[in-house]
Amino acid sequence: MAIPTPSSLAVIKSPTWVQPPMAANPLDTVLQNTNHLYRYFCPALISFVPIDGPASRSRSYVVAVAPSADGLAYTFEHRILAATTGTVDVKVETNTGTDPTTGWSTAYGPTTSGSLTGGSWSLEAHSVTLPANARLVRVSYSGATVTVTIGHVLAYPDPSSVSAGIKACGFRPYDGALLAMTGGPVTVELVDRMRTNALAVLRDRRQVIASLVQQQDNSPPWSFGYAAPSAWSSGQPMRLGKAVATLPGQTNAILDVYVIASVSGGATADLIEVMFGSSSVKLAATGLLVSTTISVDLPGGAASTLPIEVRVRHTTANTTYLQSMVVLWRPGD
Amino acid sequence: MKAPNVPNWKGIQPALALTGSGVTPPASVSFLVTGNDLGLGVALTYAQPALMFEGNTAASGTSRQIGAVIGPAAQYARAFVTRCGTAAYSAPQAAATVGTATGGFGANDVATFPSGLSGAETYFDTGSVPGVVAVTVSGDKVVASPVAPGDRALPLPEGPSSSILDVEVTNAAGFGLCVVFWSPDLEAL
* C-alpha radius of gyration, chain A, whole number: 25
pLDDT at A178: 85
Tell if the CB–CB gap between B175 and A123 is shorter than 8 Å: no
Give the model confidence (pLDDT) of A143-161 as tens digits: 999 999 999 999 999 999 9
pLDDT at A133: 98
How far is Cα B35 from Cα B142, in angstroms, rounded to an integer?
34
How would residue B137 be classed by pLDDT, with cut points 50, 70 and 90? very high
Minimum mean pLDDT range among A42-46, A103-107, B134-138? B134-138
pLDDT at A27: 85
How would residue B115 be classed by pLDDT, with cut points 50, 70 and 90? low
How far is Cα A29 from Cα A285, in angstroms, rounded to an integer?
50
Cβ-Cβ contacts under 8 Å for B83 (sequence gap 6 or more): B56, B93, B96, B115, B116, B117, B133, B134, B135, B136, B171, B172, B173
B44 at interface of A, judged by CB pairs closer than 8 A: yes
Look at B90 and A70; give whichever has higher pLDDT. A70
pLDDT at A289: 98
The string over A192-229, giving b where at least 16 C-beta atoms fall within 10 Å of a residue's C-beta and e elsewhere, is bbbbbbbbbbbbbbbbbbbbbbbbbbeeeeeebbbbbb
Minimum mean pLDDT range among A9-13, A116-120, A239-243, A302-306? A9-13
Q: For an interface test with B, which of A16, A19, A152 has the most B Cβ atoms less than 10 Å from its Cβ?
A: A152
A69 at interface of B, judged by CB pairs closer than 8 A: no
A261 at interface of B, judged by CB pairs closer than 8 A: no
pLDDT at B90: 65
Sign of dihedral through CA atoms B14, A303, A325, B55? positive
Look at A180 and A82; give whichever has higher pLDDT. A82
Question: What are A73's strand-pairing partners?
Answer: A129
How far is Cα A174 from Cα B118, in angstroms, rounded to an integer?
59
How far is Cα A124 from Cα B165, in angstroms, rounded to an integer?
14
Cβ-Cβ contacts under 8 Å for A117 (sequence gap 6 or more): A82, A85
pLDDT at B130: 80
How far is Cα A14 from Cα A159, in angstroms, rounded to an integer?
47
Between strands A207-213 and B50-55, the pairing is parallel
Whether the predicted pLDDT of A239 surpasses 70: yes
Average pLDDT, chain A: 90
DSSP B188: G
A201 at interface of B, judged by CB pairs closer than 8 A: yes
Return the closest-CA partner of residue B75 out of B146, B160, B157, B142: B157
Give the CA distances from residue A97 to residues A29, B80, B137, in Å, rounded to whole numbers and listed in that order.
Answer: 42, 35, 39
Which B-chain residues 95-124 have CB contacts (< 8 A) with chain A? 123-124
pTM for this prediction: 0.93
Tell if the CB–CB gap between A53 and B59 is shorter than 8 Å: yes
Give the model confidence (pLDDT) of A267-309 as tens digits: 999 999 999 998 999 999 999 999 999 999 999 998 999 999 9
pLDDT at B31: 83
Look at B62 and A20; give whichever has higher pLDDT. B62
Average pLDDT, chain B: 87
How would residue A223 be classed by pLDDT, with cut points 50, 70 and 90? low
Q: What is the ipTM of this complex?
A: 0.93
| Chain A closest-CA separation from residue B56 CA (Å) | 11
Give chain B's end-to-end CA distance (angstroms, integer): 11
pLDDT at A295: 98
A27 at interface of B, judged by CB pairs closer than 8 A: yes
Asked if B78 contacts B53 with a C-beta cutoff of 8 angstroms, the reply is no
Q: For an interface test with A, which of B2, B8, B57 has the most A Cβ atoms less than 10 Å from its Cβ?
A: B8
Minimum mean pLDDT range among A57-61, A174-178, B45-49? A174-178
Tell if the CB–CB gap between B38 and A50 is shorter than 8 Å: no
Tell if the CB–CB gap between A243 and B52 is shorter than 8 Å: yes
